Structure 1
């Protein structure tokens, strides 16, 4: 129901405000990305009507279809799922953020495609903070090379890092704190690589279950689906 989505966003904003207050942070530092995977575009329109601006998708085809179905200049579109080089060409015309960069070759492809239409695309480098083989992301030792490559690009902006924590039950959520802490430490250790188009201000970490801990550990972007749109339709 539309009113459920609006109420859910309101409650999430309250959770963010409470978590920021307890962490001594300003809630305005946090960007809420509503991940609408498997949900109809009508749900995106409803959320937008409730003041939500940032929307994320896990799959390139679904992102492309929703951007085509709902051309809205105010919306910021985020690609938050696994990236494939051959899918980048389908999103560069409208996507604003790509969170899942794990290799320089993705930056190279974005630069090539975006330069043809004179767009600049914000990107985040994904780090594998959980240590799980099935999770995407580069190893921390590979970040230096990616950032050095990014410094020479004109149509790509590296804005920070992204990480996906280990999935745990709500009562065990404290277990993921070291993973979020590690991502912030990796970001801090690489700030010497900042340049005109590499600014490591953003930390995309935290989802429905663990967002409070992510905020305490420095998150600036939360990727939330279920708490806004309900359970996914698989």
Structure 2
């Protein structure tokens, strides 16, 4: 485990860490928990269900198929990857059946890569209006995956655009303060540009040399 990085993240004010545990075992998750981490993110529903432990806070951060939504109800603190009306409608339906209010983030496709997941910027206003009308969805903020590139100015510009969207959202929904952006390769830049939640996987599990 990269203890130096974990300590750095834990001491970064105003930033919540989601430890991404894709392809890692439950025992590795428990080791992270011993270091003070309690918030974990999974990309795939099947893998999440295999590792699920109610002692921890779980986030779904990967592309979510509508037919898998029912398995998440009552188990996930936050679904970060809501990117379409169809998905939002299914979460609303299943949350209503379960009798819960499900916290979510809207994932924005901020990159110009068409292969990236997320709601296209031009469709975001319509998705936002739809989400805000659903009685069993609680919108907590926004999420994005920035371009995977060495061009730091491009990535910074994407983060700045997300920060603007987040500020605009908070004028309408003051509680929707979460801005989940930044991963192993770009989390420091994301924090500099307004992120208050980072999703780190690979870097956490690398030996820090201690």
Same fold, TM exceeding 0.5? Answer: yes
Closer, same or farther: CA 148–194 of 1 in aligned 2, 3 Å: same
Is residue 53 of structure 1 aligned with residue 38 of structure 2? yes
Measured after TM superposition, the shift of residue 179 of structure 1 is 0.8
Q: Distance in 2 between matches of 1:72 and 1:87?
A: 19
Closer/same/farther in 2, CA of residues 185 and 113 from structure 1, 3 Å limit? same
Give the structure with the higher percent helix. 1
3-state SS in 2 of match to 1:222: strand
Matched residues in 2 for 1:9 and 1:152: separation? Answer: 43
Corresponding position of 2:169:
190
Residues 20-45 of structure 1 show CA distances to partners (whole Å, capped at 9, x for unaligned) of 5xxxxxx1x21100000001111111
**CA displacement at 1:192 relative to structure 2:** 4.3
* Mapped partners of 2:202, 2:81: distance in 1: 20
Q: Is the 8 A contact 2:83 2:107 kept in 1?
A: yes
Question: Within the alignment, does 1:224 sit opposite 2:209 as a pair?
Answer: no
Q: Distance in 1 between matches of 2:152 and 2:187?
A: 10
TM-score when normalising by structure 1: 0.82
With over 3 angstroms needed to count, the CA separation of the structure-2 counterparts of 1:165 and 1:113, relative to structure 1, is: same
- Partner residue, 2:75: 94
> Quick check: 1:155 aligned with 2:125?
no
Aligned match for 1:11, one of 5, 10, 15: 5
In structure 1, list runs of 5 or more residues that go unmatched: 21-26
CA distance in 2, matches of 1:31, 1:83: 22
CA contact (8 A) 1:206 1:223 kept: yes
The equivalent of 2:54 in structure 1 is: 72
Distance (whole Å) between structure 2 residues aligned to residue 141 and residue 191 of structure 1: 19
Distance in structure 2 (CA, Å) of the matches to 1:229 and 1:90: 28
Q: Match for residue 23 of structure 1?
A: none
Q: Which of 98, 117, 135 is equivalent to 1:117? A: 98
* Structure 2, unaligned runs of 5 or more: none
- Partner residue, 2:155: 176
Residue 126 to residue 217, structure 1, CA distance change in 2 (3 Å): same
Alpha-carbon distance in 1 for matches of 2:60, 2:5: 24
Cα displacement string for residues 33-59 of structure 1 (whole angstroms, at most 9, x for unaligned residues): 000000111111111121101100111
* Matched residues, number: 207
Instruction: Verify the 8 A CA contact 2:54 2:75 in the aligned structure 1.
Output: no
Structure 2 CA distance for aligned equivalents of residues 219 and 130 of structure 1:
16
**1:197-212 map, 5 Å:** 199-212=175-188
SS at match of 1:125: strand
Q: Secondary structure at the match of 1:77?
A: strand
TM-score by length of 2: 0.90
Alpha-carbon deviation of 1:16?
6.3
- 2:118 aligns with 137
2:122 & 2:165 partners in 1: Cα distance?
10
